[in-house]
A and B are shown apart, each in its own frame.
Chain A
Amino acid sequence: QSALTQPPSVSGSPGQSVTISCTGTSSDVGSYNRVSWYQQPPGTAPKLMIYEVSNRPSGVPDRFSGSKSGNTASLTISGLQAEDEADYYCSSYTNSNTYVFGTGTKVTVL
């Protein structure tokens, strides 16, 4: 199972919006609304930010939103803040009854 494809990096100024794409195939992202997104600051464990494409766990700011179209899912961070600087990973359930993560995207706040 190949990793889902994410851009290596995105950046934005405080207050701006950034969007991270996550491209898979019809065997994973395209077949299921089972995409989740994780935030991982350096040296820490991942944190769930979005599950099942667009659902936010309690405690996650509504600046974070998710969507999906075809084989590509997206995470949008609106009103970017310095504390949002971290690596972000998407993940999807697959038709092999396994999971696959994305390649990861480093978000930099300028």
Chain B
Amino acid sequence: EVQLVESGGGLVQPGGSLRLSCAASGFSFSSYWMHWVRQAPGKGLVWVSRIKSDGTNTGYAGSVKGRLTISRDNAKNTLYLQMNSLRAEDTAVYYCGRGLPGAYGMDVWGQGTTVTVSS
């Protein structure tokens, strides 16, 4: 079964750091672009970042550039999101998503992990 499972969310103080993980199974992880998307409580989806299958190309939304870093370990079939200098507005459910092969869109999503930034 194709599956993505996020972990690492929690409560963190403003200015703090957190690393999210997304464990992939059931498919050839190293062949796919991967994305992070977030959703603040009661709000809409917001694209955060993406990374090429081999990790050589990354992209970020302007609101997170310089504070959040996407990476991957293809040997461990795991995607990461390192979150630094966290702000209250980073509070959200964070989803990882698999990029469609050879097309644009995200065809597999995890269940999400919740990050709360509060003192």
A34 and B45 CA atoms in complex are apart in Å by 17
B interface: dominant SS = strand
Report A-chain residues with C-beta under 8 Å of the C-beta of B37.
Answer: 46, 101
Q: Quick check: A51 and B104 within 8 Å, CB to CB? A: yes
Q: Chain A interface residue count: which class?
A: 20 to 34
Q: Quick check: A38 and B45 within 8 Å, CB to CB? A: yes
Contact with A51, one of B46, B59, B95, B100 (Cβ below 8 angstroms):
B100
A98 interface contact, C-beta 8 A: yes
Q: How many residues of B contact A (CB 8 A)?
A: 23
Q: Quick check: B47 and A98 within 8 Å, CB to CB? A: yes
Binding site for B on A (CB under 8 A): 1, 3, 32, 34, 36, 38, 40, 45-48, 51-52, 55, 57, 87, 89, 91, 93, 97-104
Binding site for A on B (CB under 8 A): 35, 37, 44-47, 50, 59-62, 95, 97, 100, 103-107, 109-112
